Amino acid sequence: MPAKGREGDTAVEAAPATEQFVYCKGCGTKLESRARLSKPRVVVSSMMCDACTEKHGHALMPAPGEPTYCYRCGSLEEVFVTPGISPATYHICPKCLPDRYARYQAGDFETPPKVAPEDEKAEPAKAEPPRKA
């Protein structure tokens, strides 16, 4: 089920400049430069602007049922809920994660197997027979 956004709330068009900032999960507005987040072990304590944090009562995600926006680009995310006894909820950006978005849209929530890069797929060296002493 797609998340419904309010008119005028979508922050940005996908553009190269989007890679320089992170965006509010509650409304999609620019939060800060990504430079600080590129350092190892940076703890992110807030993923929303002050207004959204106050509105939703949480610093990381909007209230359940509210639209969410991509932290990477500011676009409206689509919400997917897995079937089953213990359903999981995923907020996926179709622009930043197009492959995952397509899989989830088709109902495929399994993590695909990792594929080794071409240079690692070469045949392993054959072991030499043991030498007699």
Q: What is the pLDDT of residues 30-71, one digit of tens each?
A: 987 777 666 677 788 889 999 999 999 999 999 988 999 999
Sequence-separated (6 or more) residues with CB below 8 Å from residue 53:
26, 46, 59
pLDDT at residue 52 in the model: 93
Residue 75: half-sphere exposure toward Cβ, Cα within 13 Å: 19
Q: Which of 37, 9, 20, 36 is nearest to 73 (CA)?
A: 20
What pLDDT is recorded for position 25? 94
Name residues whose C-beta falls within 8 Å of residue 2's C-beta, 6 or more positions apart in sequence. 78, 79
Q: What is the mean pLDDT of residues 15-39?
A: 76
**How far, CA to CA in Å, does 43 sit from each of 22, 30, 39, 47, 58?**
14, 18, 10, 11, 16
pTM of the model: 0.67
